Amino acid sequence: MGSLIFLVQLNELNQFEGNILSIKIPFIDIPGYENGFNVWLVLVITLTSGVIIGFLLAFFQILSQKKEIISLKSKLRRMQVELDSLRNQSIEDDMEIFDEINDNGL
């Protein structure tokens, strides 16, 4: 409601001798708007296009983050399987472990 009231007031303020001021946008030729667009309409179009572009950028970032999460989950799953298989291996009793000690005691 606040933005609607703002746009109505904006439209009333942008009048000169009873004629509503218009803005001509380059490279846009729409029949019926040869003299330009109303100021409030240009504002609405600009805000709407900004919201749509922001939504698309956020959407693609979310998709790339989800792809990365799926990749990390599959890598974690592979590591968990490898860890479980190493835990389940039997340790032979006749295995000898040698600890090498340097001559200077380290």
Per domain, the residue ranges of the chain are 2-86
The pLDDT assigned to 49 comes to 94
d(CA 49, CA 70): 32
Q: Give the pTM.
A: 0.60
The pLDDT assigned to 44 comes to 86
The pLDDT assigned to 7 comes to 80
Q: What is the mean pLDDT of each run of 10 residues along the chain (106 residues)?
A: 80 77 81 82 88 97 97 95 83 61 60
Q: What share of the chain is helix, strand, coil (3-state, %, to 5)?
A: 60, 10, 35
The pLDDT assigned to 21 comes to 79
d(CA 102, CA 4): 83
- Residue at 2: amino acid letter: G
Q: Residue 19's Cα: distance from chain center in Å?
A: 43
The pLDDT assigned to 53 comes to 98
